Amino acid sequence: MSNKGQTSYFYDVIWSRFRVNRFALAGAVVVILMFMVALLAPLISPHDPAAIDAYHILLPPSLDHWMGTDDLGRDVLSRMMHGAGISLMVGFVAIGIAIVIGTVVGLLAGYYSGWADAVLMRFVDIMLCFPTLFLILAVIALLEPSIWYIMIIIGLTGWMGVARLVRAEVLSIRERDYVLAARSIGASDLRIIFRHILPNVMGPVLVSATLGVAGAILTESALSFLGIGVQPPTPSWGNILSAGKEFIEFAWWLSLFPGLAIMVTVLSYYLVGEGIRDALDPRLNR
């Protein structure tokens, strides 16, 4: 129980350190804003993102269409708002999968060491040999492009770093006094792993998850850009940009807004991740 109190104190400290990091705070604000936009998109988007108007294509930004219209006359702002949800969903689900797999593999390898460790870590080594985008491309192209496959595959190819990280943490934590103490009073492995070790590796995992979300958003937009990501008419930042690249000369609004949105969002996650990392790192204590 003291462990629990310790943990919440720990998070208090982290928050107080995070709070003073202006970059990280700004990132957090953007992330929260994006969430709100994504959740409220159906309510606040000025137009139906799917409403085609063949007679008003590629209109520049105006009062009615703040970000102009695309090559099918759809309102870009509304599509951007709905696309926010897709990007966030891909980021979170994919990284959720990666975190779960990575954490479990890392915990098992680190805690049991020996054979389990050797086998699991060799598996990690093997997976790391494949260029990630190659694996993703192969699987998505062979199956059919659907947003669910994309999320699953980004997740399945993104857990190795987490596994290594968790394993390293576990190796150091499992020799600590409170773990040894728990073991000496006969706590089960499961209990030790989940009650004593897991909470203590969550910090670094959180950092890597935040950075991972940024990476996953980039990967999804790249896939959509290549035409094998989110399929029309579902809007995603990647496919809005992909449609816009053809008209970059005169319809700059079609490339600029999604490009900026991806950049700002990814940047925000990255800043938040870095902020948490710095806050967690006692060596960087100010």
Partner 1 sequence: MRLAPVLRLILAALCLFIFSCSRETPPVKSSARSAGPPASGDALVIGTIGDASNLIPILASDAASHDIAGLVYNGLVKYDKNLNIVGDLAESWDVSQDGLVITFHLRKGVKWHDGEEFTSRDVIYTYRVTVDPNTPTAYAEDFKQVRNAEALDSYTVRITYDKPFAPALASWGMAVLPAHLLEGKDITKSPLTRKPLGTGPYRFKEWLAGQKIILEANPEYFEGKPYVGRYVSRLISDLSTMYLELKAGAIDLMNLTPIQFQRQTATPEFTTRYSKYRYPASMYVYLGYNLRNPLFSDKRVRRAITMAINKEEIIHGVLLGMGQKAHGPYKPGTWAYNPGIKDVGYDPKVARQLLAEAGWQPGPDGVLAKNGKPFQFTILTNQGNDLRIKTAQIIQQRLRAVGITVKIRVVEFASLISNFIDKRNFDAIIMGWTISQDPDLFDVWHSSKTGPKELNFIGYSNPEVDRLIEEGRGTFDQEKRRRCYWRIQEIMAADQPYTFLYVPDALPAVSARFRGIEPAPAGIMHNFHKWYVPKMEQVY
Partner 2 sequence: MLNYLLKRLIMMIPLLLGITIITFAVIHLAPGEPVEMQTALSPKVTKETRERIRKFYGLDKPLHVQYVTWVTRLAKLDFGRSFASDNRPVLDKIKERIPVTLSLNIVALILEFGLAVPIGVLAARYRDRLFDKGMTIFVFIGFSAPSFALAIFGIYFFGVVLGWLPLSGLHSLGSESLPLLARLWDLAKHVILPIGIVTFGAIAGLSRYMRSSMLEVLGQDYIVTARAKGLSERVVIYRHALRNALLPAITLLGFSVPGLIGGSVIMESIFSIPGMGKLFFDGVMMRDYPLIMGILVIGAGLTLVGNLLADLLYAVADPRIRHGKG
Residue closest to 279 by CA, chosen among 101, 30, 27, 89 = 27
Structure tokens at 70: 């695309």
Q: Does 270 bind partner 2 (CB under 8 A)?
A: yes
Smallest separation, CB 276 to partner 2 (Å): 14
Distance in angstroms (rounded) separating the CA atoms of residues 135 and 144: 14
Is the separation of the CB atoms in 216 and 162 below 8 Å?
Answer: no
Nearer to partner 1, 55 or 115 (CB): 55
Q: Does 177 bind partner 1 (CB under 8 A)?
A: no
Token look-up 């990575």 returns 102
Q: Does 115 bind partner 1 (CB under 8 A)?
A: no
Structure tokens at 163: 């596994």
Binding-site member from 40, 194, 233, 264 for partner 1 (CB under 8 A) = 233
Taking contact as CB under 8 A, which single stretch among the options 48-56, 97-105, 126-134, 168-176 is the one that binds partner 2?
Answer: 126-134
Residue spans of alpha helices (H) in the chain: 2-19, 22-44, 76-112, 114-129, 132-142, 147-156, 160-173, 177-184, 189-191, 198-225, 237-244, 252-280
Tell me, residue by residue from 74 to 113, as one string, x for binding to partner 2 by CB under 8 A and - for no binding: ----------------------------------------
Tell me, residue by residue from 225 to 264, as one string, x for binding to partner 2 by CB under 8 A and - for no binding: xx-x---------x--x---x--xx-----x--xx--xxx
Nearer to partner 1, 15 or 148 (CB): 148
Q: Which does 26 bind (CB under 5 to 8 A by kind): partner 2, partner 1, none?
A: none
Q: Does 202 bind partner 2 (CB under 8 A)?
A: no
Is the separation of the CB atoms in 261 and 237 below 8 Å?
Answer: yes
Q: Can you tell me whether residue 256 is helix, strand or coil?
A: helix
Helices 198-225, 132-142: axis angle to 10 degrees equals: 60
Q: Which does 134 bind (CB under 5 to 8 A by kind): partner 1, partner 2, none?
A: partner 2
Q: State the virtual CA torsion across 75, 81, 84, 85 in degrees, nearest 10.
A: -110
Taken in order 95, 97, 100, 104, is the CA torsion positive or negative? negative
Taking contact as CB under 8 A, which single stretch among the options 76-84, 129-137, 225-233, 260-268 is the one that binds partner 1?
Answer: 225-233
Q: Does 141 bind partner 2 (CB under 8 A)?
A: yes
Q: How many CB atoms lie within 10 A of CB 91?
A: 26
Q: Does 260 bind partner 1 (CB under 8 A)?
A: no
Residues that bind partner 2 (CB under 8 A): 23, 122-123, 125-135, 137-139, 141-143, 214, 218, 221-222, 225-226, 228, 238, 241, 245, 248-249, 255, 258-259, 262-267, 270-271, 274, 281, 283-284
